[in-house]
Amino acid sequence: MGNEFLIDTGLVNLAYLVASILFILGIKGLTHPRTAVRGNFLGAMGMLLAALATLLAKGLDFRVILAGIVVGGLIGAVAAARVQMTAMPQMVAIFNGFGGIASVLVAGGALAIVLRGQAPPGLQMIIATAASGLIGAVTFTGSVVAFGKLQGLKLFPSSQVIFPGQKPLNALVALATVGASVWLVSDPTDIVAYWTVCGISALLGILLVIPIGGADMPVVIALLNSYSGLAAAATGFVLNNNVLIISGSLVGASGVILTSIMCKAMNRSLTHVLFGVLGPAADGPSADDVYGGNVKSASPEEVAMLFDSAQRAVIVPGYGMAVAQAQHAVRDLTNLLESRGCSVEFAIHPVAGRMPGHMNVLLAEADIEYDKLKEMDEINPTLEQADVALVIGANDVVNPVARTDPSSPIAGMPIIDVDKARTVVVVKRSLSPGFAGIPNPLFAMDNTLMMFGDGKKAIVELIAALKES
Amino acid sequence: MELLILLLTIFALAIFVGWEIITKVPPTLHTPLMSGSNAISGIAIVGAILSASTSNDTVTTVLAFLALVFATINVVGGFLVTHRMLDMFRKKG
């Protein structure tokens, strides 16, 4: 059963053990920003060790391997060096996909090699091969669609794609993947069955991700992250290789944890994110009812006056800040306010941005120290003591309706309680609704001022006004 | 069968270890956690090397080569981009 791939050398397995320990220590390093760089380095060393040990264990054809590693390494290095921090979600998405397709190809290759031999593949190998192909192919095409949506490619509409009969079709395709897998397991000598499993799973990956849009993307990326790990673990069972199993399950666990954190932060179940359609509540109040002439627009000069007397400001960034590339302007504003004796903190909602932790990376890139970045649960009790809450490009995550209206589509979603601050300033292009498609009564509150316009331009004007005052 | 049980044991224990350490990663570092764990899922590179070294005809060699390219992009790109991000979180000065 796949013993061609079993490595008997104790030394190599020892190297795999060391590599696995390095991966675990590497992730452990990520529990604090101070130790994180070293942690990532340990992980990379683990990978190098595992790859080298495998290379040396088999007297192999170095040409193919060298060529593959050089090509892949160059592409990876260039992509890593060039990518904008705002584009991080699509980068991680496409890398997830590459991990998935690699597992598909490895499992397929292994099956082909075994079929050339005398004995047919054993039951463990064939089940694991089916699992690798299924999970790997779903991960690959799902990730490509997620990448396309996040990158804004025309081929992939970034919004939810809904069509009649979608759910029955998805169910049918899911059943077909199971059917093809059963075919493969019952006739393990037929490689066509394997590629059929992969083909139908690829279709399933596309169908599962196209109905998901906008603010639900962090969940999808975290889930695909988990799948890419599980695909690698399944490949480990194909090859009887423990380092693949260990690393794959570490990644699988990581993705599942992040997925559940994201779902909790939106107060929605995973099933609802994947299969439910989020739309405006049919009987919800209209935008006119909510705003009804109570929205106050303010000039940069008026907002500057507010900040002049402020002791404590809390900035709430959302995806809109990333779109407007306003993070560097926000850093300048922070420095200016602090030089005038006003303390500044950032309130980060777990689902702000397009992937878990996205806002933190964008703000860190702009040289904002990480100890100013506060989690929602930490900052919420202190918002009453904030003189100004500045909301930049965020909407649903500061909508008080989540607390007050049980019939709202976002009811029960934990939000950042900016409405409790003495004054709220919202920087936003217009009154258009966020992903949840509902109006936000925060914009019409007595203590709210709206600064309409592009996020970056508005902050730059605010800085200029502050310097003049 | 014994081997399978051994592998399943490793699988189950690794998931528990992963669960325990990853729940301790603060939200600030969730993006680097994703790209870093993503790089680790590039461990398929080991499988690709094994495949390449065992391949015995054109089809399996091509499959192994492609797997190597994808897995290496994942590994190299993943670790480098994670490093780039984590560098930004270092305290300045």
> The CATH number of the domain where A298 resides is what?
3.40.50.1220
How many domains is chain A partitioned into structurally? Answer: 2
Confidence at residue A61, expressed as pLDDT on a 0 to 100 scale: 66
Left (φ > 0), alpha (ψ -120 to 50) or beta: where does A323 sit? alpha
A427: which strand partners?
A392, A451
Same domain, A363 and A452: yes
DSSP secondary structure of A254-279: HHHHHHHHHHHHHT--HHHHHH----
Could you tell me the two tokens for A247? 């690393």
**Residue bearing tokens 């006003």:** A342
How many domains is chain B partitioned into structurally? Answer: 1
Q: Is residue B65 part of a domain?
A: yes
Of A61, A187, A308, A396, which residue is the catalytic one? Answer: A396
Indicate the pLDDT class of residue B93, thresholds 50, 70 and 90: very low
Q: Is residue A160 part of a domain?
A: yes
Last residue in a domain, options A254, A275, A296: A275
**CB within 8 Å: B22 and A65:** no
Same domain, A229 and A361: no
Could you tell me the two tokens for A302? 């008026």
Confidence at residue A104, expressed as pLDDT on a 0 to 100 scale: 97
Same domain, A390 and A425: yes
What's phi and psi for A341, nearest 5 deg?
A: 85, 10
Could you tell me the two tokens for A260? 């559940």
Last residue in a domain, options A248, A275, A302: A275
Q: Is residue A281 part of a domain?
A: no
Same domain, A177 and A66: yes
Instruction: Say what the alpha-carbon torsion angle A211, A216, A219, A220 is, to the nearest 10 degrees.
Output: 30
Residues in chain B: 93
Q: Is residue A386 part of a domain?
A: yes
CA–CA gap between residue A237 and residue A245 (Å, rounded): 7
Same domain, A416 and A309: yes
Q: Is the ipTM of this complex over 0.90?
A: yes
Q: Is residue B7 part of a domain?
A: no
Domain that holds residue A211: 3-275
A55, A69, A228 ranked by CB distance to B72: nearest: A69
CA–CA gap between residue A309 and residue A299 (Å, rounded): 17
With H, G, I as helix, E, B as strand and everything else as coil, classify residue A346: strand
Q: Is residue A282 part of a domain?
A: no
Q: Is residue B50 part of a domain?
A: yes
CA–CA gap between residue A37 and residue A26 (Å, rounded): 9
B37, B65, B78 ranked by CB distance to A250: nearest: B37
Q: Digits of tens for pLDDT over chain A (469 positions)?
A: 445 666 667 788 899 999 999 999 999 999 998 999 999 999 999 999 999 998 888 666 678 888 999 999 999 999 999 999 989 999 999 999 999 999 999 999 999 989 888 778 899 999 999 999 999 999 999 999 999 988 887 777 666 677 778 888 989 999 999 999 999 999 988 899 999 999 999 999 999 998 887 778 888 999 999 999 999 999 999 999 999 999 999 999 999 999 999 898 888 888 887 776 554 445 567 778 888 888 899 999 999 999 988 999 999 999 889 888 999 999 999 999 999 999 999 999 988 888 888 999 999 999 998 889 999 999 999 999 999 999 999 988 999 999 988 888 888 889 999 999 999 999 998 888 887 778 899 999 999 999 998 999 999 999 999 998 7
Same domain, A198 and A310: no
Confidence at residue A278, expressed as pLDDT on a 0 to 100 scale: 52
Edge-to-edge, what's the strand order for the sheet holding A448-452? A373-375, A343-348, A312-317, A388-392, A423-428, A448-452
Same domain, A346 and A383: yes
Q: Is residue B40 part of a domain?
A: yes
Confidence at residue A120, expressed as pLDDT on a 0 to 100 scale: 84
Same domain, A172 and A297: no
Same domain, A422 and A371: yes
With H, G, I as helix, E, B as strand and everything else as coil, classify residue A452: strand
Q: Is residue A110 part of a domain?
A: yes
Last residue in a domain, options A220, A251, A275: A275
**CB within 8 Å: B41 and A251:** yes
Same domain, A250 and A321: no
Measure B93 CA to nearest chain A CA, in Å: 11
| B9 pLDDT more than 70 | yes
CA–CA gap between residue A254 and residue A24 (Å, rounded): 12
A373: which strand partners?
A346
What's phi and psi for A405, nearest 5 deg?
A: -115, 105
CB A412 within 8 A of CB A267: yes
Same domain, A367 and A234: no
Q: Is residue B1 part of a domain?
A: no
Confidence at residue A276, expressed as pLDDT on a 0 to 100 scale: 64
Confidence at residue A158, expressed as pLDDT on a 0 to 100 scale: 63
Domain that holds residue B51: 28-89
Instruction: Say what the alpha-carbon torsion angle A211, A214, A217, A220 is, to the nearest 10 degrees.
Output: -10
Q: Is residue B81 part of a domain?
A: yes
The nearest alpha carbon in chain B to A229 belongs to B41
Instruction: Say what the alpha-carbon torsion angle B37, B78, A268, A173 is, to the nearest 10 degrees.
Output: -100
User: Nearest Cα to A162, choosing from A283, A284, A278?
Assistant: A278
CA–CA gap between residue A149 and residue A154 (Å, rounded): 8
Indicate the pLDDT class of residue B91, thresholds 50, 70 and 90: low
Number of A/B CB contacts below 8 angstroms equals: 374
Q: Is residue B58 part of a domain?
A: yes
Confidence at residue A1, expressed as pLDDT on a 0 to 100 scale: 40
Same domain, A225 and A303: no
**CB within 8 Å: A72 and B68:** yes
For chain B, give the percent of residues with pLDDT over 70.
Answer: 97
CB A139 within 8 A of CB A97: yes
Residues A345, B84, B49: CA angle, nearest 5 degrees: 140
Confidence at residue A178, expressed as pLDDT on a 0 to 100 scale: 95
Q: How confident is the model over A93-134, as pLDDT tens digits?
A: 999 999 999 999 999 999 998 988 877 889 999 999 999 999
Q: How confident is the model over A416-448, as pLDDT tens digits?
A: 999 999 999 999 988 888 877 788 999 999 999
Q: Is residue A269 part of a domain?
A: yes
B42, B48, B81 ranked by CB distance to A91: nearest: B81
